[in-house]
């Protein structure tokens, strides 16, 4: 072909601008504790501000005490939440009792805030079947999902059920981390919910790492919020270290989905201060102190604490008393968890189906006979 041909489409330009609508995280207070959007800040009453701070202090204390129990060998698997308090408590505060929750393994705090007990959270870590007893108490939640991203498919199905049942003002929530967006279940879940315009809100807690793999090595997408576009799902990126912004975005996403507008994808920019899990990975092998320091400077508790202290709504004495009370409650919950009855094979079989199949019923009878000896 003679001469230089004209490009029919500017692919380079498209690629360079794909993430533009998602690059500016929503924020109300910045990392220095400065109010950057007073109109949004003024939507919160003093009582609401204090309540959100108390919830973050509660989660931080839960993390610290749970890590102590883990080091003592009194728990099984535990995924630390240190650093993610604003993301998790901001979202949990926007949830309603009638909503369905599909948590990942780092989302025990949201599950407890939604109605499960701390004791049940500890039992889940121990692998005890009584951890799921909150279902009998009317808590609409699944147990934390270990398979990465699988809860997105479950949440999509629940959202369709909500729509088919005609439940009003009800949504289905699912959580995953940045690594979860690289799983097939992530795309299948958001696409299914979008195709049926089902009321689901999908949260991606982007803490920078899928265990030791940094986010930039998982995907070429500049933001994770933009991953909803191909499925027709609106996405938003929020400063996940700012509990006020996280709460408002989660609240608005919930209102949008419950009004019949289909699902929403929310990416919260947060950071995992410690290890991936209590199983023993060492963050110093894949992260540097230089990388970590800016994130520690953005500590969500420090950020809101500055604002409340200036408003004379908070002081260190109040916080210390809360932490002491919370940890005392957690120790009592652990005592109760450790007094749970020893599990039997028949217990697991009885909870496999609501109505046991004939072969499972035979196994139940067989094991009960053995266990009674």
Residue numbers annotated as active site? 272, 276, 286
Q: Do residues 173 and 203 touch, judged by C-beta distance below 8 A?
A: yes
Q: Do residues 76 and 268 touch, judged by C-beta distance below 8 A?
A: no
Describe the strand order of the beta sheet including 100-102 as a list of residue ranges: 100-102, 172-177, 200-206, 264-269, 235-239
Query: What is the DSSP pairing of strand 213-214 with strand 209-210?
Result: antiparallel
Buried b / exposed e along 284-303 (16+ C-beta atoms within 10 A): eeebeeeebeebeebbbbeb
Distance CA 203, CA 257 (A): 13
CA 283 to mean position of chain CA atoms: 21
């Amino acid at each position: 072909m003679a001469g230089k041909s004209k490009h029919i489409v500017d692919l380079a330009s498209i690629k360079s601008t794909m993430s533009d609508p998602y690059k500016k995280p929503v924020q109300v207070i910045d990392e220095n504790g400065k109010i950057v959007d007073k109109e949004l800040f003024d939507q919160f009453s003093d009582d609401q501000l204090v309540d959100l701070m108390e919830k973050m202090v509660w989660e931080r204390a839960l993390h610290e005490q749970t890590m102590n129990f883990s080091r003592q060998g009194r728990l099984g698997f535990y995924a630390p939440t240190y650093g993610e308090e604003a993301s998790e408590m901001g979202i949990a505060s926007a949830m309603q009792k009638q909503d369905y929750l599909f948590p990942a393994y780092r989302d025990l705090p949201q599950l407890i805030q939604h109605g499960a007990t701390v004791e049940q959270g500890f039992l889940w870590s121990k692998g005890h079947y009584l951890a799921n007893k909150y279902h009998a108490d009317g808590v609409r939640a699944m147990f934390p999902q270990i398979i990465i991203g699988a809860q997105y498919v479950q949440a999509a199905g629940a959202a369709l059920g909500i729509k088919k049942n005609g439940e009003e003002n009800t949504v289905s929530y699912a959580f995953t981390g940045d690594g979860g967006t690289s799983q097939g279940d992530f795309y299948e879940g958001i696409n299914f919910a979008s195709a049926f315009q089902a009321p689901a809100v999908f949260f991606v807690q982007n803490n920078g790492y899928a265990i030791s793999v940094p986010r930039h090595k998982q995907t070429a997408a500049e933001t994770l919020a933009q991953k909803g576009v191909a499925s027709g799902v609106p996405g938003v990126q929020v400063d996940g270290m700012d509990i006020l912004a996280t709460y408002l975005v989660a609240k608005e996403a919930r209102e949008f989905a419950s009004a019949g507008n289909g699902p929403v994808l929310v990416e919260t920019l947060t950071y995992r201060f410690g290890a991936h899990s209590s199983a023993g990975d060492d963050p110093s092998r894949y992260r540097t102190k230089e990388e970590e320091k800016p994130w520690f400077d953005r500590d969500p508790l420090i950020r809101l604490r500055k604002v409340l202290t200036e408003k004379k709504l908070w002081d260190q004495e109040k916080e210390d008393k809360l932490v002491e009370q919370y940890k005392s409650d957690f120790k009592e919950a652990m005592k109760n968890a450790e007094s749970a009855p020893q599990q039997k094979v028949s217990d697991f079989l009885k909870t496999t189906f609501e109505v046991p199949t004939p072969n499972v019923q035979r196994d139940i009878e067989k094991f009960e006979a053995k266990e009674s000896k």
